Structure 1
Amino acid sequence: MMEREKEARAYIEEKGGARAIHSLSELSERLKEENQRQNLVAKGSLDHIWVRHFADSAQLLDHVPRETKGPWLDLGSGAGFPGLVLAILRPEIEFVLIESRRLRVEWLERMSSELGLENCRIEGCRLEQVTTVEAGIISARAFAPLAKLLRLSARFSTDDTRWVLPKGRSAAHEVQELPGRESKMFHVEQSLTDREAGIVVGRGKVREKA
C-alpha cells in the first residue's frame, strides 16, 4: 500500500520521468492557490497530494494496456483527477475532460494551457450534451453511482473500450448490483493508495439501459 509522498513521487517518475514530476509539481502549487478560491479538493488532502491525487490517478494506467488507443474520456473531471494527471503521463493519447461546473471548467482550461497539454481538450458541458465519439478508454472519479454512470456513458463505448472507474469502498457492491451482462463485464481491483478502496475495471460495450 502506497502511503508516503516519497513513494508516490517515485511511482509516478517511473511512469512519466522527470518531465511528469516537473509538470505535477507545478500543478500542485497551482492547485493549492486555486483551492483558496474554490473548493476543488478537501483541504486536508493537500498535505498528501502525491498519494491522494497524483498516484491515485496514475495507478489507473496499470489497468490499461500500453497499446490501447484513445480518445480517453474522463467524466466529471473536477479538479483534474484523474484526467490532468493522466494527460501529463500519456502525451500520445488524446484526452477529453468533461466537466459542467463553470469555475472548474475555467480551472481545467487554464491548467491544460499552462502545462502545455496539447493532447487535452475540455468539454465544458454536461455529459448528455457531448457529441458521441468511440472512446478507447473511459474513466470517472466520484462522478455517479456505477449503474447511472454506465447508462450515461454507454453511447461512447465499443467492444474494445476499456473502463477504469475508481469507486471507493462501494466498488464490489456496485458491480454486484449491475444487471447480469454488465456484472460479468466488470471486476474490482484493489487501490494502491487506499486499502479500503477499489477500482472497477472492465472492457466492452455497455447497453444504454444498463
Structure 2
Amino acid sequence: MLSLPDHLRPSAERLFGDRLELAERFVDLLAEQGPERGLIGPREVERLWERHLINCALLADAIPAGARFVADVGSGAGLPGVVLAIARPDLRIVLIETMQRRTTWLEEVDDHLGLDLEVVRARAEELHGRRSFEVVTARAVAALDKLARWTLPLVADDGVLLAMKGSSAAEEVEKARPVLRRLGGEDPTVTRYGVGEVEVPTTVVQVRRRAMATRKGDPRG
C-alpha cells in the first residue's frame, strides 16, 4: 500500500472527504498495475499522491456550481476522470479514451471501486454532434489549439472546457485564441488551484462556450 504522505493529508481529507479510502484504493491499483500496463511510468509510483491524485482532485474546485454532466477526454489511467468521480460523487462522469487497453483498465477500475462511470472507446471527434456535456476536462492530451478542436464541440452551450496545463498555459491561450473564437469559445482564463495548500498548484485553462444564439451572426465566429 502506498501511504498518503502526512503533509498531503489535510488536502486529501478536504478534497475526498469520507471517500478518501476509495482514493487510497485507486492509488494502490495504479501503483500495482500502472507501470506494467503502460499507464504510468515507473518513476511516477512514488509521486502518485502529489503529482497525480491531489493534482487532479484540485480540478474539482474549478467545476461550476450546479454542473452535473462531465466528460473527461483522453482519460488514460483515469486522471483526472476517475479522481473526479471519487471526489465528486454528485457528478455523472463519462470517460472518453481511444485505446482498448486503457478502456479495459478504466472498466476494471470502475468495477473495483463501484463508481458508476460510463467508459466510451472513441476519439472525441467521433462524438461531435452526438454528445454534449456541461463540463469537458482534459489533462496532458494536446496543445490547447488542437485540444480545442477535439473538445469544444462536446461542450454544451454556456458549458466550460477545463484543460489542465503546465507553466506554458498563458502562452497556449494566446496561440489558441483564433481557434477558440471560431469554435465559440470565449473568456479563456488561467487559474491556479491549491495555491498555499500544495507545493505545486494545479493550473487550469477555463474556456466557456457561447450559447448558439450568441454564436449565430457573430463576426468573430
TM-score bin (small chain): 0.7 to 0.9
CA-CA distance at 1:21 after TM superposition: 1.2
Q: Distance in 2 between matches of 1:41 and 1:16?
A: 22
Which position in structure 1 is the counterpart of 2:187?
A: 185
Q: Are residues 44 and 191 of structure 1, via their aligned partners in 2, closer, same or farther at CA, if it must alter by over 3 Å?
A: farther
Between stretches 104-113 and 185-194, larger displacement belongs to 185-194
Task: Provide the TM-score with structure 2 as the length reference.
Answer: 0.82
How far residue 88 of structure 1 moved from its aligned partner, in angstroms, is 1.0
1:55 aligns with 2:54: yes
- Cα deviations across residues 107-157 of structure 1 (Å, max 9, x unaligned)? 101001110011x11011222223622211111001111111111122212
Give the greater-gyration-radius structure (CA). 2
- CA change 1:204–1:34 in 2 (3 A) is same
Counterpart code for 1:198: T
Aligned to 2:203: 198
1:176 partner SS: helix
Give 2:6's aligned residue.
6
How far apart, CA to CA, are the structure 2 residues paired with 1:175 and 1:36? 32
Letter in 2 for 1:121: E
SS at match of 1:152: helix
1:123 matched residue in structure 2: 120
The 1:160/1:5 distance shift into structure 2, 3 A limit, reads farther
8 Å Cα contact 2:67-2:134 kept in structure 1: yes
- Separation in 2, partners of 1:197, 1:116: 27
Query: What percentage of aligned pairs have identical amino acids?
Result: 30
Distance of aligned partners of 1:147 and 1:129 in 2 relative to their CA distance in 1, 3 Å threshold: same
Out of 122-131 and 89-98, give the one that drifted further: 122-131
Query: How much does 1:197 deviate?
Result: 6.5
CA distance, structure 1, for counterparts of residue 28 and residue 200 of structure 2:
27
- State the match for 2:218 in structure 1: none
Contact 2:77/2:105, CA 8 A, preserved across alignment: yes
Question: 1:28: which partner in 2?
Answer: 27
Q: Which runs of 5+ in 2 are unaligned?
A: 216-220
**Partners of 2:210 and 2:186 in 1: CA distance:** 12
Q: Structure 1: any 5+ residue segments left out of the alignment?
A: none
Q: Secondary structure at the match of 1:138?
A: strand
Q: What is the aligned-residue RMSD (CA, Å)?
A: 2.4
Could you say which structure has the higher strand fraction? 2
Give the length in aligned residue pairs.
202
SS of 1:158 mapped into structure 2: strand
Q: CA deviation at 1:196?
A: 8.4
**Matches of 1:101 and 1:13, distance apart in 2:** 33
Q: 1:33 to 1:195 in 2, by over 3 A?
A: closer
Q: CA deviation at 1:194?
A: 6.2
Which residue of structure 2 lines up, in the alignment, with residue 134 of structure 1? 132
**Shift in CA distance, 146/194, structure 1 to aligned 2, threshold 3 Å:** farther
Q: Would the alpha carbon gap of residues 152 and 42 (structure 1) be closer, same or farther in structure 2, given more than 3 Å must change?
A: same
Q: Residue 158 of structure 2 aligns to a residue in which SS?
A: coil
The answer (yes or no) to whether the contact 2:155–2:161 under 8 Å persists in 1 is no
